[in-house]
Chain A
Amino acid sequence: MMQRFKTKSIYSLFFTLIILFLASLQAKAMSKQEKQLLRLIPQKSELSQWHMTYEPRFFDEENLFEYINGAADLYIMYGFRLVVTADYAVGADSSSVNVEIYAMKSPLHAFGIYAAERSPDEAPAEIGVQGYIGANVLNFYKGPYYIKITSFALSEDLSGMLKQMGQYIADQIKGEYKEPEMLQRFPRQDLVERSERFIPTNFLGQSYLSNGYRCDYYTEKSGTYQLFLIPFKKELDAEEAFDLYKKFLLETNRPHRFDKAVGYQRILVYGSDQYDFAFCSGAFIGGATGTACPDAIKNKMQELGRNLE
């Protein structure tokens, strides 16, 4: 009896030590990620005219809500990992500037959240892979990071100062990064600049569609409509998802045309005021939504399809 008790105690101790060891590894991993983020922002005198006024703070998935309130849900949906935020004073009038660097799951997810918050109306800024500058903000992404630099004092040289900080951070992020490759497959003509999106979940409002790409197009004749593309790992996965999407389209739209052949399917439907078009080709689902004029998408569909070859 005593022997059994001792054996049990040894096992318990051993188990506890393993848990503590794993917990310490986890703690180290987190601090490593924090250190990585810290290295991206100026700490002391790396940038003339800038000095830190509020020490860096970190928020992870558990407490992001405390920092950005309801927007946290969206960031988490886009693969949020960790954010560092710090305040600086800059320039002769010591304008206050806030810097945030969001570490995301991957460069694609960083693009996704950047694009979700981007506005086509803002002026592009050549910092990082892509960025834009507004009256008091500079936002860009590079690698797995989404960077937001915000000021509330509108000094004359604010734009230059925001760019200076942005460039410093972009330079600290090592490696060559480009826009997501899949976006190259979208036709360029009539594309609304800076409307490209990557949406990791619930694409087109469908829980079974993930990791989709979408771009806006505009012509006077057709107004604004969207083309979309969803890559799948296997053709069978694409076909299954297409069946569900087709069912969804037919639930509330009038079928206008449906064709099927080996490996290819397409459907055109008409709702209350717009056409929706979708095709399944190999391991891709693509299509157009929101167009009042199916003529307008004819060439676009041809080009999109050619680009999948």
Chain B
Amino acid sequence: MEKKGMERREFLFKSSLGIATAGLALPLTQSIAQEEKKSPTLIYRTLGRTGLSIPVVSFGVMNSDSPDLMKRALEKGVKHLDTAFGYLNGNSEKTIGSVVKEMGLRDQVFIASKVWLARDRDKHVYTPEDIGRMPGATLKNFNDQLELSLERLQTDYVDIYYLHACASKEMVNYEPMMESLLQAKKAGKARFVGVSTHTNVAEVIRAAVDAKIYDVLAVAFNFWRNDKDEVGEAIEYAHSHGVGIIAMKTQGGRRRDANIAVNHTAALKWVLSHEGVSTTIPGMTTFDQLDLNFSVMANLELDEQEKKDLKLSALDVGSLCRSCRRCIPTCPHRVEIPNLMRAHMYADAYGNLSQAEWTLHSLPEKQGLQACRSCSVCSATCVQGLKIGRNVQSLKRQFVLLA
């Protein structure tokens, strides 16, 4: 169609929208269709004792409220959509609800959501009182959130309902929440119940398995976590007890240090190399990410290059402290642990002893390595699993005069 010389307005708004005259079966241009992108054969795993059979790649709908992306994911074979009460202030649940209803897939898609109630962030315990904008952890508030989630999702039930972000065994075993979950299950509003966890992951997994009421656990798990071995063992523990494991933060999310290159498919394959992991819920906001994540199902085996990439990334990040400072309250002397860990990184990872020494010197005496003199065993703990005690010992050996 020759349009040269035509005025912009004329082109756009006179001829253009002769759309109405065009018939579906009569494309007006030469066909430029391309063969539809082929998806690899889906690989399914069973989600523990739930018996649900799900492809190993699912969809974390945390930040995506794009109906088109969700539709494409479902068309490609995604069977499990993961969301939460608070994501996009409820718009994530609403989008899932309208897309699943429009596509008529409710009985073919497993939807998970999560309840978020008040907790003491330092002590990692639920509280019945409201804290800030978190309503107290009570049966009433639990039911209010569940009802609203069901309304937004346009459904009578969710397939999995989690306690969102449990960070300790105390939260896992908090009776009012356990009772609330069991009631929801009994009422048919949640087919299966579980907890999700990003912090103290191994402890939470083991506590949840031992609590015996949880069917599924959504756990943060990736190749560069400092506690990946412990978490991996805990996952196997859950697997052997019939508790389904869904892995999240598989490629690290935003918290990952931005300057560290990651081979995303390799990272996803690494997580799936653990038999106990039934499926993954990478957060996806683009069609490319969807295609990339689906591509791992062509071959779950890590090839040599992928192994090498993972090793390099792990070396980059393995000894890094994230400076969240949550270790400091666990030290009786309130030592500046993040700075000690930084000094350890300079000394061990970079071999830069002068930089390490300068870092140690810059700390106040009472909060530096000197304060560690009186402790033969370090009681400080890291939520990311960094070996604080081991690193402090290493610093003590290298900087004897300071220690």
Residues of A near any B CB (own CB < 8 A):
16, 54, 62-63, 65-66, 68-74, 76-77, 85, 87, 96, 98, 100, 116-119, 148, 150, 152-153, 201-202, 204-207, 247-248, 250-252, 254-264, 266, 268, 270, 272, 277, 279, 281-282, 289-290, 294-295, 297-298, 301-302, 305-306, 309
User: A77-B63, A100-B133, A116-B65 are contacts. A205–B285 as well, Cβ < 8 Å?
Assistant: yes
Given contacts A76-B254, A281-B12, contact A264 B3 (CB under 8 A): yes
Q: Are A62 and B323 in contact (CB under 8 A)?
A: yes
Closest Cβ of chain B: how far from A1's Cβ, in Å? 18
Closest to B33 in A: A255
B12–A298 touching, CB < 8 Å: no
Q: Is the interface of B mostly helix, strand, loop or mixed?
A: loop
Is the interface on chain B under 10, 10 to 19, 20 to 34, or 35 or more residues?
35 or more
| Chain A residues near B20 (CB-CB < 8 A) | 294-295, 298
Other-chain contact of A263, B8, B88, B255, B286 (Cβ < 8 Å): B8
Q: Which residues of A contact B88 (CB under 8 A)?
A: 71, 74, 116-117
Contact call B9/A309, Cβ cutoff below 8 A: yes
B254 CB, min distance to chain A CBs, angstroms = 5
Judge whether B17 and A301 touch: CB under 8 Å: yes
Within 8 Å CB of A290, what residues of B? 67-68
Which one, A68, A259, A295, A298, contacts B1 given CB within 8 A? A259
The residues of A that contact B64 with a CB separation of less than 8 Å are 205
Measured CB to CB, the closest approach of chain A to B116, in angstroms, equals: 7
Contact across chains for B62 and A302 when beta carbons are under 8 A apart = no
A148 touches B254 (CB 8 A): no
A261 to B66, CA, bound (A): 31
Q: Distance in Å from the Cβ of A61 to the closest Cβ of chain B?
A: 9
- The residue in B37, B86, B89, B283 that gathers the most chain A C-beta atoms within 10 A of its C-beta is B89
Residues of A within 8 A of B63 (CB): 73-74, 77
Instruction: For A224, give the chain B residue with the smallest CB separation.
Output: B98
Bound Cα distance from A272 to B103, whole angstroms? 11
In the assembled complex, which residues on chain A have CB atoms less than 8 Å from the CB atom of B305?
none
B374 within 8 A of A: no
Once the chains are docked, how many angstroms separate the CA of A63 from the CA of B132?
A: 17
Bound Cα distance A68, B253 (Å): 14
Q: Which residues of chain A have C-beta atoms less than 8 A from B132's C-beta?
A: 54, 85, 87, 98, 150
Please report the C-alpha to C-alpha distance between residue A264 and residue B15 in the assembled complex, in whole angstroms. 12
* A204 and B68 contacting across the interface, CB-CB below 8 Å: yes
Q: Which of A16, A201, A298 has the most CB of B within 10 A?
A: A298
19 pairs of residues in contact across A and B, judged by CB atoms under 8 Å: A66-B121, A69-B116, A70-B165, A70-B253, A77-B63, A116-B91, A152-B135, A205-B286, A205-B287, A251-B36, A255-B31, A257-B28, A259-B11, A259-B16, A259-B29, A268-B19, A298-B19, A302-B13, A309-B8
A86 to chain B minimum Cβ distance, whole angstroms, is 9
A309 to B11, CA, bound (A): 13
Whether B288 contacts A73 by the Cβ 8 Å rule is no
Question: Does A260 contact B19, Cβ atoms closer than 8 Å?
Answer: no
Question: Known interface pairs A77-B63, A205-B285, A309-B9. Does A119 touch B16 (Cβ–Cβ under 8 Å)?
Answer: no
**What is the chain A residue whose CB lies nearest that of B132?**
A98
Q: Which residues from chain B sit less than 8 Å from chain A, CB to CB?
A: 1-4, 6, 8-9, 11-13, 15-17, 19-20, 22, 24, 27-29, 31-34, 36-37, 62-69, 72, 75, 84, 86-91, 94, 116, 121, 130, 132-133, 135-136, 141, 164-165, 198, 253-255, 283, 285-288, 322-324, 326, 358
Given A250-B32, A305-B9; A117-B130 close (CB under 8 Å): no
**B-chain residues with CB within 8 Å of residue A85 when the two chains form the complex:** 132
Also in contact, A294 and B19, with CB within 8 A (given A62-B323, A73-B253, A100-B133)? yes
Given known contacts A207-B286, A254-B33, is B130 in contact with A96 (CB within 8 Å)?
A: yes
Query: What residues of chain B lie closer than 8 Å to A54, measured between beta carbons?
Result: 132
* In the complex with contacts A257-B19, A277-B19, A298-B17, A70-B62 CB distance below 8 A: yes
Using known A-B contacts A295-B20, A305-B9, determine if residue A70 contacts B87 with beta carbons closer than 8 Å.
yes
Whole-angstrom distance between the alpha carbons of A247 and B287 in the complex?
13
Flag if A258 contacts B29 (CB, 8 Å).
yes
Which A residues touch B326, using CB under 8 A? 66
State in angstroms the CA–CA spacing of A305 and B4 once bound together. 19
Nearest CB of A to B359, in Å: 11
Bound-state CA distance A279–B3 (Å) is 15
With contacts A74-B88, A301-B17 known, what are 17 further pairs, Cβ within 8 A?
A66-B121, A66-B324, A71-B62, A74-B62, A77-B63, A152-B141, A206-B287, A255-B27, A255-B32, A257-B28, A257-B29, A259-B29, A264-B8, A268-B22, A282-B8, A306-B9, A306-B13
Known: A256-B22, A298-B17, A298-B19. A264 touches B133 (CB 8 A): no
Complex Cα distance, B107 from A11, in Å, reads 70
Least CB distance from A153 to B in Å reads 8
Please report the C-alpha to C-alpha distance between residue A2 and residue B84 in the assembled complex, in whole angstroms. Answer: 65
The answer to whether A257 touches B6, judged by C-beta atoms less than 8 angstroms apart, is no
For B86, list chain A residues within 8 Å (CB). Answer: 68-69, 71
Find A262's partner among B4, B12, B13, B89 (CB 8 Å cutoff).
B4
Nearest B residue to A57 via CB reads B132
Question: In whole angstroms, how far apart are the Cα atoms of A255 and B288 in the complex?
Answer: 21
Are A295 and B19 interface neighbours, CB within 8 A? yes
Q: Closest Cβ of chain A: how far from B163's Cβ, in Å?
A: 12
Q: Please determine whether B8 and A71 come into contact, CB atoms closer than 8 angstroms.
A: no
